[in-house]
Structure 1
């Protein structure tokens, strides 16, 4: 039970850790905590304690037998025990060198005392009692060796508990849900987003990844976000989902400061299609609707809109097909699109969702987004500029700042940075 509780606490602490924790912590360390350290707490420590206690009781049995046969042995055994304890304390730094000598000395001392006292009391002791006492006293050296060995194993493995508890003190994300939340079940209804002098950094001490971002996304607007690598495009998405907390400023969605919401309330009301599509082990239906919130008809409708209906219909088990992670990249991206179609939230974020797929899949995704998310606010972090040429606005970012923001046609007319990027892409 104690090991299970430690494992649950470790899992809870790791799952609630912010992204900066995973950036600074090697994955090998995490695997080691969940595998080797938990195994040591599960098996090594209980086995070591069990063995140590078993031999302690065996030692007590020998002492009782010797004392019952020769009560005067207590006069010798007590000083021997005190001497042994004194040697262990004073020679802690050289225990490994003196351990064998100490154990042999103590064991032989008990054997000697049992033998000498047995000879002295030969007139009153029966030969059977004497043989029992001496034969048991001969086991003392081996018993002491096993006690020390098993206890040393416990001391070596008890560090695993400290290593598992170490992650209890790491920084955690904000509360998952707020008890006194009065958030409407239909929030956000309009899907407006407002950044007010927003700043974000990946870890304390690092330079701000976003600097003084002020932006207002209106209802049903389609915003394209472009820029060079490292300009801060994906950082905007991290800020909206509070994967990283604001270093300064605020983000408001439908007039509500998202910093005052529980993480579940926020993240469950907006949708993202990431660049790297993630499918979990399990059936295709579980990947689309893990909480069984939608009917099969709704799932098939989403697959049809995501251009996957014919493909899934041809699978052996259809929605129960359980080889989802092995699907090609383009099909996995379309599955993520089907997820978004099922949820149909008022805000959709595409984080370079089509950067790694072929042009045909890119065209399918873009056509579906234009037709099915017409009433939603869409923020597209674009790798291919042609995907945002018909958007309401395009934001050009550079070094964490918004350097240009207007409609694509106006930005091209201004002959600025967006114009140069389009010229490089062969669009003008």
Structure 2
């Protein structure tokens, strides 16, 4: 009969353990997926201002270390916490049943235990936060060094960046060492507390064996049972508090991830344009547009008004900080304008859903970017264009021979800079923009980091391959906009001059003429 009861208890224990493990694994995975999806959605819909003020290493830390903790470590430690709690509760019940006086020890024991765990938990939580904070600069330093490796070598500053990286690693190691020392501090005190409990059980057993008390506590069976349950209490106390504290520390990862859930979001709403081919003409009007990046900063654009007829190629020039790139920021709604309105084919872009707005324009940025994958996927990510059209555009961009030599459209761009030069990558970005067949094409200083020959090729491609699209070129080199149809000259966010470049050059007192003379000196 006893064997049957023991078998039933063993079967129930195995079943409940299996249910507990499955519940934590399944529930933890579902929760981690939801946190990841929410975090990714919030980051993808964050305004540009968030990325300009937040280091990339900090974002990478959230999506790597913190999400790994939520995916893997947190469900595991929660499972251990529940097992330790049930085991510790069972030990307390057995000791209270075997040794009645143990009940009187529970109150002072709980007081000392709560004091220990209070000091340790409050310290460990802050140490874990410091651990996460100290890890972010390592990611940032690593990515910055990789991105700027050519510049670092050019200025022979390898030792400086190496020492800077070592400093970040040393700071992170100090926080990790402090966390380890705090854990050893707790372990020593828990062992002393467990020794006190075992001593109390042994003393009460000895006293009870002399028969001086009305109830006998010294029967060999009860003493053996009490000591056998009191002996592992050291590991149970340490495991419970450690798992409880580790759970709190792992929840710091959830706290850090949820910090990005509350970041401001772009306004995605609006009324889609009735014309599915919008913009069909490419006419752009700025009416008294003002733009300010922060309330305390001067306006980047101040009461700008101009009209770009459809199919016109316009160059925007000015000194650094004049507001050239702010024109595109306002057009793409990367930053909200303070006043005025922008009309594209007669529609106010503030009423158009921001995703529809940006997908309707084509842009070639100053910093080229090619995705990892095939060249064809880079040029046509949505697979809507046939290969014949792609080859035609590559020929217009003077890249057909280079692509054929490299292996065709199927070549894998795992490390694009090994296959194409900086200028060729810029031409590939231009080809990607032309394949979009948008009526509005924007170029943000795309000739700033290329040689004169590539800049000339870009200009020839724009002159012959835009198909009547409206082209807005933010000019770094004055020579690249001399053949444009129209010029906008900005100064401190104010439109100070506009007109045909040839007419402006003939006026020796014009701002554009002064820029041209200065660039040829």
TM over 0.5: yes
Secondary structure at 2:410's aligned position in 1? helix
Is 1:408 paired with 2:501? yes
Kindly provide the CA deviation profile for residues 371-396 of structure 1, in whole angstroms up to 9, marking residues without a partner as x.
12241111111122122222221111
Q: Distance in 2 between matches of 1:160 and 1:338?
A: 43
Q: In the alignment, which of 263, 271, 277 is matched to residue 354 of structure 2?
A: 263
Tell me, yes or no, if the aligned pair for 1:308 and 1:334 is still in contact at 8 Å: yes
Is 1:7 paired with 2:32? no
Q: How many residues align?
A: 421
Tell me, yes or no, if the aligned pair for 1:197 and 1:213 is still in contact at 8 Å: yes
What residue number does 2:253 align with? Answer: 160
Q: Distance in 1 between matches of 2:292 and 2:196?
A: 65
Secondary structure at 2:406's aligned position in 1? coil
Residue 190 to residue 143, structure 1, CA distance change in 2 (3 Å): same
* Structure 1 position 228, deviation (Å): 0.7
Tell me, yes or no, if the aligned pair for 1:282 and 1:324 is still in contact at 8 Å: no
Q: Distance in 2 between matches of 1:126 and 1:332?
A: 87
Tell me, yes or no, if the aligned pair for 2:290 and 2:301 is still in contact at 8 Å: yes
What residue number does 1:45 align with? Answer: 74
* Structure 1 position 233, deviation (Å): 0.4
Kindly provide the CA deviation profile for residues 28-60 of structure 1, in whole angstroms up to 9, marking residues without a partner as x.
221221222222223333333222222222223
Tell me, yes or no, if the aligned pair for 1:347 and 1:378 is still in contact at 8 Å: yes
Secondary structure at 1:314's aligned position in 2? helix
Q: Distance in 1 between matches of 2:95 and 2:210?
A: 13
* TM-score between the two structures when normalised by the length of structure 1: 0.90
Residue 319 to residue 155, structure 1, CA distance change in 2 (3 Å): same
Tell me, yes or no, if the aligned pair for 1:62 and 1:137 is still in contact at 8 Å: yes
Q: Distance in 2 between matches of 1:58 and 1:124?
A: 24
Residue 86 to residue 136, structure 1, CA distance change in 2 (3 Å): closer
Alignment of 1:23-172 (within 5 A): 23-66=52-95, 70=98, 73=99, 75-88=100-113, 99-100=189-190, 102-110=193-201, 112-113=203-204, 127-128=220-221, 130-172=223-265
Q: More deviation in 116-125 or 251-260?
A: 116-125
Residue 54 to residue 35, structure 1, CA distance change in 2 (3 Å): same
Q: Distance in 1 between matches of 2:35 and 2:357?
A: 29
Q: More deviation in 231-240 or 7-16?
A: 7-16
Residue 333 to residue 323, structure 1, CA distance change in 2 (3 Å): same
* Structure 1 position 192, deviation (Å): 0.5
What residue number does 1:311 align with? Answer: 402
Q: Distance in 1 between matches of 2:115 and 2:224?
A: 36
Tell me, yes or no, if the aligned pair for 1:279 and 1:324 is still in contact at 8 Å: no
What residue number does 1:283 align with? Answer: 374
What residue number does 1:209 align with? Answer: 300
Q: Distance in 2 between matches of 1:401 and 1:123?
A: 97
What residue number does 1:361 align with? Answer: 454
Kindly provide the CA deviation profile for residues 5-50 of structure 1, in whole angstroms up to 9, marking residues without a partner as x.
2122222212211111112112222122122222222333333322
Secondary structure at 1:230's aligned position in 2? coil
Q: Which one has the bigger helix percentage?
A: 2
Kindly provide the CA deviation profile for residues 198-234 of structure 1, in whole angstroms up to 9, marking residues without a partner as x.
1112233222111111111111111111111111101
Structure 1 portions without partners, runs of 5+: none
Kindly provide the CA deviation profile for residues 337-361 of structure 1, in whole angstroms up to 9, marking residues without a partner as x.
1112211111111111122212222
Q: More deviation in 195-204 or 131-140?
A: 131-140
Residue 67 to residue 93, structure 1, CA distance change in 2 (3 Å): closer
Q: Distance in 2 between matches of 1:245 and 1:409?
A: 34
Tell me, yes or no, if the aligned pair for 1:45 and 1:158 is still in contact at 8 Å: yes
Q: In the alignment, which of 299, 303, 311 is matched to residue 220 of structure 1?
A: 311
Tell me, yes or no, if the aligned pair for 1:302 and 1:341 is still in contact at 8 Å: yes
Q: Distance in 2 between matches of 1:126 and 1:188?
A: 93
Q: Distance in 2 between matches of 1:190 and 1:161?
A: 49
Tell me, yes or no, if the aligned pair for 1:226 and 1:381 is still in contact at 8 Å: yes
Q: Distance in 2 between matches of 1:118 and 1:49?
A: 42
Structure 2 portions without partners, runs of 5+: 1-29, 121-184
Tell me, yes or no, if the aligned pair for 2:70 and 2:250 is still in contact at 8 Å: yes
